[in-house]
Chain A
Amino acid sequence: MKKSTIIEIFAFSLILLFVYAAFSKVLDLEKFRIQIGQSPLLTKLQSSVSIVIPLVEIVCSMMLAIPKYRLVGFALAFGLMSMFNAYIISILQFSEHIPCACGGVLQFLGWKRHLLFNCFFGGVAAAGFVLVHSLTRQHLSEKKT
């Protein structure tokens, strides 16, 4: 498969993920705000976080859609995934109150699976970044010669 095709697939899957994630938050903003409020890490930043996160996700998917900004888009996606993973790991340290206080252990399983899921898409973003980076360098060196 051509490098550019792989890049398209990577970018598309990340766009799909972020657009879905952002819209599921925005469509029920009230619920998302309350869930953010339940987090011991974010409770003081409730209003700003509940707007900024979906906004950044949409900006990221727009960057991934426009070839000119794709490189930055992949980097941003990787940064976001790292951030989400760091969040999951640190929230587990506050195990007394896990946001959405339903079944303790079931919640834990959910977090672990979520972590794996994020690692996968973080990997996709990193690979996409490296591919775009190598392509542009190739492009530049071809131009020079």
Chain B
Amino acid sequence: MRKAALWLGLAFILGTGIVLGLALRAGEKPEGSNGFRRIFRTEAVLQPIDTLNLKYDSYYIAGRARQTLYLGNIVAPRHAFAVNIQGLDTQRIEFKLNNPEGVKFTSVDLRVDSPYFYLVDGSVPAIFEGKLNEKQAAQSLSRPPYFLELAPVGSNSFVIRSLDSHGEAQLGKLRLKPLSADFPRRLLEKQIDGVFCTEGMIHFDKGANRLVYVYFYRNQYIVTDSSFSAIRRFDTIDTNSVAKIHVSEIHSSHTRTFSAPPISTNRRSDFYNGYLFVNSSLMADNEMPEFAKASVVDVYNTSSANYEFSFYIPEYNGGKLRGFSVYADRLIALYERYLILYEFTPLTKL
């Protein structure tokens, strides 16, 4: 019996040992510097004010309407939270869906553009529209084209990221009543495959009519407006000018997908009052190893293209940052299942 246990123990150690070795090797940071530096300011340190336990880790930041932050839920798409950024007062929302056609969703996203909200699924494709105070959404009468990403930019008006006639992903304009979709300008620049290499995040500030697109895999962001009339391309501080991704086709299912882990430069972002906040995944040459424990955010002025400064969003309870939003002198950070409200004052001094 003891001999049997010994053999099983050996098999266990061998099996886990191989994986442990691989994990340690993969965890090693590549040597050499990334060739850029960050500016840290002493006053740009976050002061935690309040904490909210969401109980589930399936929430994501769906949008902000002035000082109200909306959290959508991946698992239960009709369930949402409205959180007041000033004091974390929270309101549970249950959306009613008027769905006589019985649309079957694959992945639903909540988008908020006060007083409206949208439950959208670009792979169906379907857009359900409703008023936030009525909490009831009905499907748009006209069928939108397939889209990869969607951001509301006004009543009945959206910016979408969708495939154009060349099979490349481009930013386009979508209206529903009456239905129209077009790509007035080629905003996104193909580097590798034209779909994955141009992935990114869309931000829109209605008051300033400013649209910002932040690429995930290259050191660039685009500043324009909802009709794409003036386009300005700015660089973020790191040196990854070409997307480091590998894309392959799986012939059996006619799909294209990543064939190596993509290296994202701009992981998460938010846009407030003309300032772009980018959570970067690249370490600067003047940073210490604690970089790995916190999430660094670089602040850019989208009018002047200036890089202003950087700050850290700390870890919470060992949980990783999943999203953040800035409003006035507040920063709200979403971790696995916690929302932390921080005081964040340096913006007022810029």
Task: Tell whether, in the assembled complex, residue A38 and residue B258 are in contact, meaning their CB atoms are under 8 Å apart.
Answer: yes
Question: In the complex, which residues 253-303 of chain B have their Cβ closer than 8 Å to any Cβ of chain A?
Answer: 253, 257-262, 264, 267, 281
Q: Could you tell me the distance between the alpha carbons of A46 and B320 in the complex, rounded to whole angstroms?
A: 28
Band of interface residues on B: 35 or more
Contacts A30-B251, A38-B261 known; A105 to B15 CB distance under 8 Å?
no
Task: Tell whether, in the assembled complex, residue B252 and residue A30 are in contact, meaning their CB atoms are under 8 Å apart.
Answer: yes
By beta carbon, the residue of chain B nearest A82 is B15
Per-residue contact bits, chain A 39-53, to B (CB 8 Å; 1 contact, 0 not) = 111110110000000
| 8 Å CB contact of A34 from B23, B26, B107, B259 | B259
Task: Tell whether, in the assembled complex, residue B107 and residue A97 are in contact, meaning their CB atoms are under 8 Å apart.
Answer: no
Task: Tell whether, in the assembled complex, residue A41 and residue B23 are in contact, meaning their CB atoms are under 8 Å apart.
Answer: yes
By beta carbon, the residue of chain B nearest A28 is B252
Task: Tell whether, in the assembled complex, residue B259 and residue A37 are in contact, meaning their CB atoms are under 8 Å apart.
Answer: yes
Q: Which residues of A contact B16 (CB under 8 A)?
A: 82-83, 85-86
Q: Which residues of B contact A90 (CB under 8 A)?
A: 19-20, 22-23
Question: In the complex, which residues 33-82 of chain A have their Cβ closer than 8 Å to any Cβ of chain B?
Answer: 33-34, 37-43, 45-46, 75-76, 78-82
Q: Could you tell me the distance between the alpha carbons of A134 and B248 in the complex, rounded to whole angstroms?
A: 50
Per-residue contact bits, chain B 161-204, to A (CB 8 Å; 1 contact, 0 not) = 00000000000000000000000000000000000000000000
By beta carbon, the residue of chain A nearest B248 is A34
Q: Which residues of A contact B259 (CB under 8 A)?
A: 33-34, 37-38, 46
Q: Which residues of A contact B7 (CB under 8 A)?
A: 75, 129, 133
By beta carbon, the residue of chain A nearest B75 is A105
Task: Tell whether, in the assembled complex, residue A97 and residue B262 are in contact, meaning their CB atoms are under 8 Å apart.
Answer: yes
Q: Which residues of A contact B12 (CB under 8 A)?
A: 78-79, 82
| 8 Å CB contact of A95 from B3, B107, B253, B320 | B320
Q: Could you tell me the distance between the alpha carbons of A91 and B274 in the complex, rounded to whole angstroms?
A: 38
| 8 Å CB contact of A126 from B8, B18, B248, B260 | B8
Whether B44 is near chain A, meaning CB under 8 Å from some CB there, is no
Whether B231 is near chain A, meaning CB under 8 Å from some CB there, is no
Whether B52 is near chain A, meaning CB under 8 Å from some CB there, is no
Q: Which residues of A contact B11 (CB under 8 A)?
A: 75-76, 78-79, 82
Task: Tell whether, in the assembled complex, residue B57 and residue A105 are in contact, meaning their CB atoms are under 8 Å apart.
Answer: yes
Whether A140 is near chain B, meaning CB under 8 Å from some CB there, is no
Task: Tell whether, in the assembled complex, residue B15 and residue A83 are in contact, meaning their CB atoms are under 8 Å apart.
Answer: yes
Q: Could you tell me the distance between the alpha carbons of A87 and B262 in the complex, rounded to whole angstroms?
A: 20
Task: Tell whether, in the assembled complex, residue B74 and residue A103 are in contact, meaning their CB atoms are under 8 Å apart.
Answer: yes
Whether A5 is near chain B, meaning CB under 8 Å from some CB there, is no
Task: Tell whether, in the assembled complex, residue B15 and residue A80 are in contact, meaning their CB atoms are under 8 Å apart.
Answer: yes
Question: In the complex, which residues 131-160 of chain B have their Cβ closer than 8 Å to any Cβ of chain A?
Answer: none
Task: Tell whether, in the assembled complex, residue B8 and residue A78 are in contact, meaning their CB atoms are under 8 Å apart.
Answer: yes
Per-residue contact bits, chain A 107-131, to B (CB 8 Å; 1 contact, 0 not) = 0100000000000000000100110
Could you list which residues of chain A lie within 8 angstroms of chain B, going by C-beta atoms? 28, 30-31, 33-34, 37-43, 45-46, 75-76, 78-87, 90, 93-97, 100-106, 108, 126, 129-130, 133-134
Could you list which residues of chain B lie within 8 angstroms of chain A, going by C-beta atoms? 1, 3-4, 7-8, 10-12, 14-16, 18-20, 22-23, 26-27, 57-58, 74-75, 107, 246, 248, 250-253, 257-262, 264, 267, 281, 320
Since A83-B19, A96-B264, A130-B1 are in contact, a sample of 6 more A-B pairs with Cβ atoms closer than 8 Å, ordered by chain A residue number, is A34-B257, A45-B22, A96-B320, A103-B74, A133-B3, A134-B1
19 CB < 8 A contacts A-B: A28-B252, A30-B251, A30-B252, A34-B248, A38-B260, A40-B26, A75-B8, A78-B15, A79-B12, A82-B12, A86-B15, A93-B23, A94-B27, A96-B267, A96-B281, A96-B320, A105-B75, A106-B74, A106-B75
